[in-house]
Amino acid sequence: MQYESSQNAFGHITTGLIHHPYVPPGGFEAPQPGVFKASTVYFPTVAAMRQREWKDKSAYTYGLHGTPTTYLLEERLCALEGGLQCVLVPSGLAALALVALSVLNTGDEVLIPDNAYGPNKALAEGELRHFGISHRFYDPMDPADLSRQITPQTRLVWLEAPGSVSMEFPDLPELVRRCRSQGLLCALDNTWGAGLAFKPFDLLNDAQMDPSGAGGQGSLSVDISAHALTKYPSGGGDVLMGSVITRDAALHLKIKLCHMRLGLGVAANDAETVLRSLPSMNLRYQAHDQTARALAAWWQAQPQCAQLLHPAFEGAPGHPHWQTLCERIPGSGLAAGLFSVMIDPRFNQAQVDAFCDGLKLFKIGYSWGGPVSLVVPYDIASMRQKWPKHLKQGTLVRFSTGLESAHDLILDLHQASQAHLLVR
Ligand SMILES: *Cc1c(COP(=O)(O)O)cnc(C)c1O
């Protein structure tokens, strides 16, 4: 009998390797959590399977609905952003799409800031339109324009602070107040703030609260915070992931159900990579910020710079709004590692492109939040309804600072501008 020869204490070796009875001791503790991978999750009995609840974190039903690894990441992200519930999705853009598909119905309208992350506009134009969901763009620097764009069909308002290319910082509390007064849902793309520069679910600092309590503004919060974890939480330029965080259980359930029906799972190894990066995130964010400010200060002194677009700099569009929201203690405000420079119009696009090509440490590439500094020239005219009043003419170049030495990065900017942006 062939079977007997390869049998051991647990049956045939093929079966034994699958149903091996050894269980390692519990109580293992180490700095990083383990990676739990699953599509299938076991139930002890059929009855248990039928009764198992998947919508909360009381147990496990299927890999798509959560594992210890994803639950842990969700809870840590809630702590970061000040939310109560979190859903993970395979990219930041998927987070924006999930929000739209969860809360919008045929006939509804969504308002998007004109300086929004480009693919969020493309989502409305290319996909939501098919479902009979319309959109309008508003000027985020003019709260009255937001009010003007609201129609009886408006259901959702997107917010972004700052716009991730032109970097103007809106009066976020005022925009949220206007949404609130109209009963509109507001969703923030919180990728820039990352839960560190300001608290999306607590937008008023103490100075703005009425100390008497009478007629005080109370709390002010967005309904939904969407975050491209691809950026600072990952920190490596090697993971795509997004999160959708809320504080309202009913709203979360709506998003969770849509998430389940669309099947938007994340890979366990990716979740673990983000978990591994979270402990250093605050330190990295501050380092990116310091380097960005050193580079921005260098640019400000250059004759090629027509306008510096960095919300922490005096004179940059929306700087006072950044101060109000992000500087709860004066001088302590954080501002990420992202800024743009409007290169003087006497330099043409080809010269600006050659400058970008001439940089050695800065790589040409999208995204931000990783260790490597990045540069991208943008054509603002093609991205906006009309040229924004607060932007000077010129060619916009966006810099994302990595974790290299600021001194070395400035030398790189200097050599490339000497070679390609020479002021005669
Ligand atoms: C990168 C980014 C996204 C999308 O994230 P992906 O993971 O690249 O899809 C969304 N919003 C903002 C502001 C971003 O910078």
pLDDT interval class at 10 (50, 70, 90): low
Residue from 367, 383, 399 whose mutation best tests the ligand 1 pocket (most atoms within 8 A of CB): 367
Phi then psi for residue 222, to 5 deg, are -75, 165
C-alpha–C-alpha distance, residues 89 and 70, integer Å? 10
Average pLDDT over residues 142-152: 97
Question: Which pLDDT belongs to residue 213?
Answer: 46
**Residue 247 predicted with pLDDT over 60:** yes
Phi then psi for residue 186, to 5 deg, are -120, 130
Residue from 189, 227, 230 whose mutation best tests the ligand 1 pocket (most atoms within 8 A of CB): 230
Which residue in this structure is represented by tokens 């059929």? 46
Counting residues of the chain whose pLDDT is more than 70, the rounded percentage is 94
**Residue 185 predicted with pLDDT over 60:** yes
Amino acid 137 reads F
Residue, of 135 and 219, whose pLDDT is higher: 135
Question: Which pLDDT belongs to residue 260?
Answer: 94
pLDDT interval class at 107 (50, 70, 90): very high
Residue from 191, 225, 227, 288 whose mutation best tests the ligand 1 pocket (most atoms within 8 A of CB): 191
Residue, of 10 and 312, whose pLDDT is higher: 312
With a 6 Å cutoff on the Cβ, whether 270 touches ligand 1 is no
How many Cα neighbours within 13 Å face the side chain of 156?
29
Take atom 5 of ligand 1 and give the residue whose Cα is closest: 92
> What pLDDT digit, counting tens, does each position of 387-421 carry?
999 999 999 999 999 999 999 999 999 999 999 99
With a 6 Å cutoff on the Cβ, whether 369 touches ligand 1 is no
**Residue 87 predicted with pLDDT over 70:** yes
C-alpha–C-alpha distance, residues 127 and 385, integer Å? 20
Q: Residue 141: is it exposed, middle or buried by C-beta count within 10 angstroms (0-12/13-18/19+)?
A: buried
pLDDT interval class at 1 (50, 70, 90): very low
Question: Which pLDDT belongs to residue 7?
Answer: 58
Question: Which pLDDT belongs to residue 357?
Answer: 98
Query: How far does the centroid of ligand 1 lie from the alpha carbon of residue 95, in Å?
Result: 9
Take atom 3 of ligand 1 and give the residue whose Cα is closest: 92
Q: Which atom from ligand 1 is nearest to the alpha carbon of 91?
A: 7
Flag whether the pTM goes above 0.75: yes
Kindly report the three-state secondary structure assignment for every residue of the chain: CHHHHCEECCEEHHHHCCCCCCCCCCCCCCCCCCCCCCCECCCCCHHHHHHCCCCCCCCCCEHHHCCHHHHHHHHHHHHHHCCCEEEEECCHHHHHHHHHHHHCCCCCEEEEECCCCHHHHHHHHHCHHHHCCEEEEECCCCHHHHHHHCCCCEEEEEEECCCCCCCCCCCHHHHHHHHHHCCCEEEEECCCCCCCCCCCCCCCCHHHCCCCCCCCCCCCCCCEEEEECCCCCCCCCCCCCEEEEECCHHHHHHHHHHHHHHCCCCCHHHHHHHHHHHHHHHHHHHHHHHHHHHHHHHHHCCCCEEEEECCCCCCCCCHHHHHHHHCCCCCCCCCCCEEEEEECCCCCHHHHHHHHHHCCCCEECCCCCCCCCEEEEECHHHHCCCCCCCCCCCEEEEEECCCCCHHHHHHHHHHHHHHHCCCC
Greatest alpha-carbon pair distance for the chain in Å reads 92
With a 6 Å cutoff on the Cβ, whether 230 touches ligand 1 is yes
Domains annotated on the chain, with CATH: 49-279 (3.40.640.10), 281-420 (3.90.1150.10)
Counting residues of the chain whose pLDDT is more than 90, the rounded percentage is 86
With a 6 Å cutoff on the Cβ, whether 191 touches ligand 1 is yes
With a 6 Å cutoff on the Cβ, whether 164 touches ligand 1 is yes
pLDDT interval class at 131 (50, 70, 90): very high
C-alpha–C-alpha distance, residues 135 and 129, integer Å? 8
pLDDT interval class at 3 (50, 70, 90): very low
**Residue 217 predicted with pLDDT over 60:** no
> What pLDDT digit, counting tens, does each position of 301-342 carry?
999 999 999 999 999 999 999 999 999 888 889 999 999 999
Question: Which pLDDT belongs to residue 4?
Answer: 53
Q: How many residues are present in the chain?
A: 424
Q: Which atom from ligand 1 is nearest to the alpha carbon of 366?
A: 1
- State the Cα angle at 73 between 200 and 244, rounded to 5°: 40
Arithmetic mean of pLDDT over the chain = 93
**Residue 222 predicted with pLDDT over 50:** yes
- What is the token pair recorded at 262? 């669309």
Query: How far does the centroid of ligand 1 lie from the alpha carbon of residue 92, in Å?
Result: 5
Question: Which pLDDT belongs to residue 331?
Answer: 85
Q: Which residues of 320-349 are buried (b: 16+ CB within 10 A; e: fewer)?
A: ebbebbbbeeeeebbbbbbbbbbbbeebee
Question: Which pLDDT belongs to residue 206?
Answer: 56
**What is the C-alpha end-to-end distance of the chain, expressed in Å?**
92
Q: Which atom from ligand 1 is nearest to the alpha carbon of 192?
A: 13
Worst-scoring range by mean pLDDT, 155-159, 180-184, 201-205, 335-339?
A: 201-205
Amino acid 49 reads M
Q: Which atom from ligand 1 is nearest to the alpha carbon of 241?
A: 7
Query: How far does the centroid of ligand 1 lie from the alpha carbon of residue 140, in Å?
Result: 19
With a 6 Å cutoff on the Cβ, whether 233 touches ligand 1 is no
